[in-house]
Each structure stands twice: as structure tokens, then as C-alpha cells.
Amino acid sequence: MRIKLTADKVQLFSYFLGIALLGSLVLSMPFVYKNHVPVDYIDALFTSVSAVCVTGLSTLSMDVYSTAGFVVIMALIELGGLGLISFVAFYLAAPKRKVSLVNRTIIKEFFVDDVEYDPKKILASIIAFTLFCEITASLFLFFLFKKEGSQQPLLDGIFHAVSAFCNAGFSTYSTSLNSLRDDRLFLTIIMTLIVLGGLGFIVLSDALSVIRREKNRLSHHSLIVMLFTLFLILTGSLLFFLFEFNHAFRGLTLGDKIIASLFQSITPRTAGFSVIDQAKFSPTSNLLVMMLMFIGGSPGSIAGGVKTTTFLIVVMYALRGNADKRGLNLLKRNINTAALEKSFNIIAKSFMIILLSVILLSITERPSLVSGSIKVFDIMFESISAFGTVGLSMGITGDLSFLGRIVIILTMFIGRTGIVAMALGFIRDEKERYFEYPSASIMVG
């Protein structure tokens, strides 16, 4: 099989790579730091890639940044969060632009047959909805931060609104949201933004159409996304509540334990904010967090991960199979073979990328592993968090070696662009369409 490098794919990756590199240069300037002393370039690059990939991992404490630094990071989050969606929509909406097969495939990732499919309308809806959510939330958060005694309530409000909606997980505070875990209204606003950003714009557009009575019912895609998202949130909340009632949540009131459980269930998919240090959770809870980080948000959203529908299809197929050779039936609808193959393909590639990241980190961080300052579990957690563009950590990010930081940078970038864009960017040689290799019998299982 020969791989053809298309201009469309080069442009798509150049968009993210260009913004990340430009952001790293800006973050190398003295004015973005309080003490006006620039950091090592690797740290600037790490932060830039993390922001563009809406991950939230950082090798530096957030206390070092000036107001200008936070504005730069916020701009990178916005450009990266809407990048994959808005880039393609802009590309297709451009006058006299030919719509290639690759671009057609990419844009189809953001609509379903019975929902809006015009690229220009998709782009307009995305921008309008994003600005509405972020501006509205910023106003509420401004007053909440002002009440908490913030020295920069406007910046804090806007930054956290953008970071939460884009599922980035960056905070203007070095302890994330730990100091605000008693403010239930604040946490409710943040959780709402995370969920809205992770549902997918087409699902939100579909739901608004039903609310406005422009259509009678949700599309099958939207229904599955909403039901499975609700299932993950409620199930995760219950499990965290039970696992951490007398552990990480010890000392909290019953109401705060419920809110903390709900927040801990939502933030791994894929926001990365924390109200309690991740290292304080039990190993069982951290395993659950790793699973939620791997799943991520929904297709066509800002969130990362393998996506909810992908994971659901693979699990349901594994449990129920296709004994009748007709694929998979889900909520009285048949899931076609192409969707099944794509789902398994994404899951398999994701496992391979994470495994490779863990292996490389185990090599680069060998001295720390031998000394016991870092454990293999910590490395696995960090790799899944980077791949799922989550941003949660067991506290080892700042202790990673130079090569270890490079590995995480690549993992974040691949996690943001690879599973969606890389799978679509390569096309097979056209000649392979006209012949088929002989069948072979291979024993499996």
C-alpha cells in the first residue's frame, strides 16, 4: 500500500503545529512572566502544546505567569479548542475552494444525516454558541471571584469560562480549583461548561431544535450521546462517592461530598480541573479516572479521548456480538459495519499510542522509577491524561526529564489531532480498489 500525502492533510496539521510553535515563542518572552525572566524553551513549548491541545498539563506553577501570560494561554486554548472544527469549516466555506474527499470526510465528523450539514451554518452556530456560553459564564464567574476576594476577578472569570468550555483544565491558580471547592454555585457553573463543551456542537444544535419545536425528536446520534453521557456521569459520581466517602472526601459535609463526587466524575472527560489533589484519591478511584479519561467526550466536541460513542459501540459489540451477521443493534437501530470497524480501529490505535508513551516514559524516567520517586502507575496515569487531553496528574509533570517532556508533548499532540485527523489524512492507493488478496485462515482467541 502506498500512502499519498495530500495538501489538505498538510494544512490541517500545519494549523495546530503552527499555533503551538508560535505560542511557544510568545511564551518564551519575558513579559508573560511576573518576574520578567523567561523560562527554558522546553517548558514554554510544553505549555503551548498543552494549551493548543486543550490538555491542561503544565511543568510550571501557574503563579509564575503575568496577566499577559494568562491572556496568551487563553488565546491558545480558544484557537486550539475550536481548531479542528473551525479550520475545516473555514476551509470548506472559502470561495472557489474545491471540496476534496478528505475534507468531505472530516466535515462529516461534525454532522449526522438529519441535522444541519452546511459548513457555513455549522461554523456560524459553533462561534455563536461558544461566545454565548463563555460570555454568560464569565459574567457569573466575575461576581463569584470578586466575592471570593480575587485581585483580578475579570481575568479569572473569563479565563476559567474559556478553559472550562474548551475542556482545557488550565486555571489561574496553581492549586487548580481546590480553594473554591466549597462554592457550590461556582462548581456547578464549571461543570455545566465542561458538559456543554464535551457533548458536541451537533448534539447541542439538535437539542435546541427540539426545544424550539423545529423538530419533533432528537436524532439517534444525539439520543445515544446524551444517554451514555448521563450514564457515565451518574455512575461515576456514585462510585466516587462510595470509594472516597471516608478517604479523599473525609471532612467534607454530605452536600460537599455529593458535589465533589459529581465534579470528579465530570472533570476527567476531559477538562482536568481538580477540587482535591488527584494523589489523595484511592487507587481504585484513580483507575476509574483513567477509564473516564480514556473515554473522553463526544464526537464533534472540543473534548478529547476516544469519544463516548466509539467506546459504547465497542463495548456493546463485545458483549452482544453480531451472531446474526447483521452488525450491532442499538436502541432499535442498526449500527453499520463502517462505524463498527472505525470504532475498533480508533480503540486499537489509542491503546497502541498509550502503550508506546508508557514504554518511552519508563525509559526516559528510569532513574526516578529506580529511586521510587515515580511509580509506573503514575506514568500510566500521565500518559492517558496526555492522550485524552485531560490535564489531571499524580503530580509528576514538573519532575519529568527533558526527554520525558518531549514524550508527553508528542502524546498530547497525537491525542488531539491523531485519532480524528490522522485516521482521515491518509488515503489508500486507488489501485487497491480494483483487486482483492486471497483469503487466509488464521486461528484467533
User: Left if phi > 0, otherwise alpha if psi is -120 to 50, otherwise beta: which for 56?
Assistant: left
Q: Which domain holds residue 340?
A: 7-428
Question: Does a structural domain hold residue 46?
Answer: yes
The amino acid sitting at 405 is R
Work out how many domains the chain is built from and give that number.
1
The answer to whether the pTM exceeds 0.85 is yes
Question: Does a structural domain hold residue 253?
Answer: yes
Q: Sign of the CA dihedral 241, 246, 249, 252?
A: positive
Helix, strand, coil shares, percent, the chain, to 5: 65, 0, 30
The pLDDT value given to residue 425? 44
The pLDDT value given to residue 429? 46
Query: What are the CA-CA distances from residue 155 to residues 82, 134, 162, 283, 388 (Å)?
Result: 21, 13, 11, 36, 27
Question: Does a structural domain hold residue 433?
Answer: no
Question: Does a structural domain hold residue 397?
Answer: yes
Question: Does a structural domain hold residue 437?
Answer: no
Question: Does a structural domain hold residue 445?
Answer: no
> Could you tell me which residues are beta bridge partners of residue 65?
33
Question: Does a structural domain hold residue 230?
Answer: yes
CB 201 within 8 A of CB 301: yes
Sequence-ordered list of residues with C-beta below 8 angstroms from that of 338, at least 6 positions apart, any chain: none
* Cell digits of residue 159: 479565563
Per-residue pLDDT for the chain (445 aa), expressed as one digit of tens each? 444 555 556 666 788 889 999 999 999 999 999 999 999 999 999 999 999 998 989 999 999 999 999 999 999 999 888 776 666 555 555 555 554 544 555 555 555 555 555 666 667 777 888 889 999 999 999 999 999 888 999 999 999 999 999 989 899 998 889 888 889 999 999 999 999 988 888 888 888 888 888 888 888 888 999 999 999 999 999 999 999 999 999 989 999 999 999 999 999 988 889 999 998 999 999 999 999 999 998 887 888 889 999 999 999 888 876 555 566 778 778 887 878 888 888 899 899 999 999 999 999 999 999 999 999 999 999 999 999 999 899 989 999 999 999 999 999 998 887 765 544 544 444 445 555 667 777 777 6
Question: Does a structural domain hold residue 435?
Answer: no
